[in-house]
C-alpha cells in the first residue's frame, strides 16, 4: 500500500487557507511557512511513498505531513501550539526542521541504517532550491549515490532563496539518479502570508 489514497489537492489548499486565517486572526504567534502552488507535484510524488518509508522535510511541511498520513486535526493542533516549523511524528516516520538543510544528514543516517539492516524501506528527503545549493546537500547526495543508499532527494524549486532569485545568487543545479527536482510558482511569501505589492 502506498501513501496518498485519500488526501487530494483541494484538501491541502483548504488546510493552508485555514492556517492563513488563524494566522491573520492572531491565533498563531510563531513563524509559519505556508505551501502553495505545488500541490499536484506533491500528490504525484507521495503516490510512490509507502507508509513505512521515512519522510524528512523542511519548515514548510504541512502538505508533506498531510500526505504522509498525519491527521488534519493533529497537525492543526501542532500548528496552533506554535510547532509549525518543526513537525515530528515517530508513528508516521516524519521529521521536519526549521534549519535550512537541517534534516539532510539525519535522513542520510536513517538511509544508511536501513541499508545495513537490509530493510525494504526508503527515505525521502525534501528541501528547497536554496538548500540544494549548500555544501551539506551536495555531500549528502554524493555520499548516498556512492553508497547506493535507499534514498531520494526531492528539491522543491520555487526559484527563490528567501526573496532573492536562487539562480541569480547560486547558479548551477545538482543532478543525479537520486535527485528529483520540480519547479513551481509559490503562492505565499517566504514567511507568513502577507500581500504582494508591485511597484
The whole-number mean pLDDT for each consecutive block of 10 residues of the chain, a chain of 199 residues, reads: 71 96 93 93 96 96 97 96 94 95 96 97 95 91 96 90 73 69 82 70
Q: What is the pLDDT of residue 5?
A: 59
**Residue spans of beta strands (DSSP E) within 37-92:** 54-57, 88-89
Cell of 84: 509549525
What is the domain partition of the chain in residue ranges? 9-183
Q: What is the pLDDT of residue 4?
A: 52
Q: What is the pLDDT of residue 187?
A: 83
- The two beta strands, 160-161 and 94-96, are unpaired
Nearest to 158 by CA among 131, 120, 123, 136: 131
3-state secondary structure of 177: coil
Q: What is the pTM of this model?
A: 0.82
Q: What is the pLDDT of residue 1?
A: 42
Give DSSP secondary structure letters for 107-175.
HHHHHHHHHHHT-S--EEEEEETTGGGSHHHHHHHHHHHHTT-SEEEEEEE-SEETTEEHHHHT-----
Which class would CATH give 9-183? alpha beta
Cβ atoms 19, 29 nearer than 8 A: no
Cβ atoms 170, 29 nearer than 8 A: no
Amino acid at each position: 500500500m502506498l501513501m496518498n489514497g485519500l488526501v487530494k489537492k483541494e484538501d491541502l489548499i483548504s488546510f493552508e487557507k485555514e492556517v492563513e486565517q488563524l494566522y491573520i486572526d492572531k491565533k498563531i504567534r510563531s513563524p509559519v511557512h505556508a505551501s502553495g502552488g505545488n500541490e499536484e507535484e506533491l500528490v504525484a510524488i507521495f503516490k510512490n511513498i509507502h507508509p513505512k518509508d521515512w519522510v524528512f522535510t523542511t519548515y514548510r511541511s504541512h502538505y508533506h505531513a498531510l500526505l504522509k498520513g498525519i491527521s488534519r486535526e493533529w497537525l492543526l493542533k501542532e500548528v496552533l501550539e506554535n510547532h509549525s516549523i518543526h513537525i515530528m511524528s515517530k508513528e508516521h516516520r516524519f521529521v521536519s526542521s526549521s534549519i535550512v538543510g537541517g534534516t539532510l544528514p539525519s535522513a542520510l543516517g536513517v538511509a544508511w541504517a536501513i541499508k545495513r539492516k537490509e530493510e525494504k524501506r526508503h527515505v525521502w528527503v525534501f528541501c528547497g532550491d536554496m538548500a540544494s545549493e549548500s555544501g551539506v546537500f551536495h555531500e549528502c547526495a554524493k555520499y548516498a549515490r556512492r553508497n547506493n543508499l535507499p534514498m531520494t532527494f526531492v528539491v522543491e524549486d520555487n526559484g527563490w532563496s528567501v526573496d532573492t532569485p536562487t539562480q541569480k545568487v547560486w547558479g548551477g543545479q545538482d543532478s543525479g539518479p537520486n535527485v528529483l527536482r520540480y519547479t513551481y510558482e509559490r503562492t505565499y511569501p517566504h514567511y507568513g502570508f502577507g500581500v504582494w505589492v508591485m511597484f
